[in-house]
Amino acid sequence: MQVSFRSIAQSYGRHKLFQDLDLVIPSGKFFTLLGPSGCGKTTLLRMLGGFVRPDSGQILFGNDDVTDVPVHRRGVGMVFQDYALFPDRSVLDNVCYGLAARNVPRSQARDRALHMLQRVGLEAFADRAPAGLSGGQRQRVAMARALVIEPRLLLLDEPLSALDVKLRVELRSMIRDLQTEAGITTVFVTHDQEEALAMSDLVAVMDRGRIVQTGEPREIYAHPRTAFVADFVGSANLIPIEQELPPADGLRRLRTAAGIVLTRCDVSVNAGAQLAVRSEEMQFGPDSRAVEGQIAGVIEHVEFRGSITGYTVRTAAGALRVDLRTTQHGRLRARGEAVTLDLPRDARIVRAS
Ligand SMILES: Nc1ncnc2c1ncn2[C@@H]1O[C@H](COP(=O)(O)OP(=O)(O)O)[C@@H](O)[C@H]1O
Ligand SMILES: [Mg+2]
């Protein structure tokens, strides 16, 4: 089922959180709202669930306007960061809850709940209380409880944020597998860009109540449109562009504080435009004297991180980060060494906002 926000506005006191927000979530997709804390992700999710009514605008499920449809009539399954399980009921009863509320006969509800528990690998825990479960297991129960009602829409609000890294990565694929099997339209909220890239069919990047870019993970990563997206989704080196010079050899020439850089990117240079270069796209040049297209600098910091060796290089355009794969690394550079940086020819021009 396709889900849409149409001309949504919402204020809290004098603070206008959303103004004329439009968003379409295509049917069957795993769709992620990604943005820093406070940008409005949870509020949008709660509007879909029916917990928050927008000041104006509409929420559509397919072609149906559900803006005024109450929570229990929306056919929505929800999972929250804090599990929200009933502590005094067994795991099985927790999963049965939504079915009982829908008047599904007890024995049938039991069978469906046990089947869902099996899918999340917890059938052996059916009679336990949630308190006897680990965080990861509780979140599996919460997933089973959300899916057992066969919702039209699944809403996941930072369900992995309270878990430690290893478990988070494990549960990512479980959630994705369950979603794909059920083919259910899913809206996932996170502030974690890696999680968003790893799990989603589509990502909408949010900044202060606005959706700044929507696309497939690879598209957003490779072609961020603004400096905010470039830096929030994977981190980027941002180099302010001072002026565009006449092109040469099919490459655009852009003057920066640290010399002339070259790119094939066809985005126009407006006021505040910057060049965005990922740290893993930077390389050291062979010499310490920079030619056009390179930037000169001095190594300020070297950080060995296992698979990656990270450098911070002080340049006339500020500190730039260079990440090299340790196994493919040539000569190690030392702190204080003068170096040149080769920038990729497809470095992106991004707008200020
Ligand atoms: N019920 C509320 N009353 C007042 N302010 C709210 C309420 N709900 C959300 N906000 C404000 O709206 C903004 C967005 O909140 P939220 O949607 O929770 O963001 P996120 O989930 O992205 O962290 C925040 O500044 C928050 O303080
Ligand atoms: Mg939130």
Percent of the chain exceeding pLDDT 90 equals 88
For ligand 1, residues with CB inside 6 Å are: 12, 17, 35, 37-43
- Please spell the DSSP secondary structure of 133-195, one letter per residue: S-HHHHHHHHHHHHHHT--SEEEEESTTTTS-HHHHHHHHHHHHHHHHHHT-EEEEEES-HHH
Distance 231 CA to ligand 2 centre (A): 20
Closest ligand 1 atom to 33 CA: 22
In this structure, which residue's CA is closest to atom 24 in ligand 1?
A: 38
Q: Which of 167, 201, 224 is the last residue of a domain?
A: 224
Q: Are residues 303 and 185 in the same domain?
A: no
Whether 129 shows a pLDDT value over 90: the answer reads yes
Q: DSSP character for 112?
A: H
C-beta separation of 133 from 141 below 8 A: yes
Q: Are residues 268 and 338 in the same domain?
A: yes
Distance 189 CA to ligand 2 centre (A): 7
* Confidence band, pLDDT 50/70/90 cuts, at residue 290: confident
Q: Are residues 55 and 167 in the same domain?
A: yes
Q: Are residues 170 and 135 in the same domain?
A: yes
In this structure, which residue's CA is closest to atom 3 in ligand 1?
A: 12
Q: Which of 224, 247, 267 is the last residue of a domain?
A: 224
Give 173-217 pLDDT, tens digit per residue.
999 999 999 999 999 999 999 999 999 999 999 999 999 999 999
Q: Are residues 213 and 99 in the same domain?
A: yes
Q: Which of 178, 209, 224 is the last residue of a domain?
A: 224
Closest ligand 1 atom to 35 CA: 22
- Average pLDDT (153-179) is 93
Task: Name the closest ligand to CA 206.
Answer: 1
Q: Are residues 239 and 149 in the same domain?
A: no
Whether 2 shows a pLDDT value over 90: the answer reads yes
Distance 12 CA to ligand 1 centre (A): 8
In this structure, which residue's CA is closest to atom 7 in ligand 1?
A: 12
Distance 284 CA to ligand 1 centre (A): 44
Give 213-253 pLDDT, tens digit per residue.
999 999 999 999 999 999 999 889 999 999 999 999 999 99
> Which range marks the domain in which residue 8 is found?
3-224
Total domains in the fold of the chain: 2
Q: Are residues 143 and 277 in the same domain?
A: no
How many angstroms from the chain centroid is the CA of residue 317? 29
- Kindly report the CATH number assigned to the domain that includes residue 11: 3.40.50.300
- Kindly report the CATH number assigned to the domain that includes residue 337: 2.40.50.140
- The stretches of the chain forming alpha helices (DSSP H) are 41-49, 91-101, 106-119, 135-148, 165-182, 193-199, 217-222, 227-232
pTM of the entire predicted model = 0.91
Alpha-carbon distance 54 to 5, whole Å?
10
Phi, psi (degrees; rounded to nearest 5) at 211: -95, 115
Whether 110 shows a pLDDT value over 80: the answer reads yes
Closest ligand 1 atom to 13 CA: 4
Distance 42 CA to ligand 2 centre (A): 4
Q: Are residues 49 and 73 in the same domain?
A: yes
Nearest to 246 by CA among 285, 292, 282, 281: 292
* Confidence band, pLDDT 50/70/90 cuts, at residue 289: confident
Residue of 34, 43, 207 to mutate, ligand 1, most atoms within 8 A of C-beta: 43
- pLDDT at residue 162 in the model: 86
C-beta separation of 94 from 145 below 8 A: yes
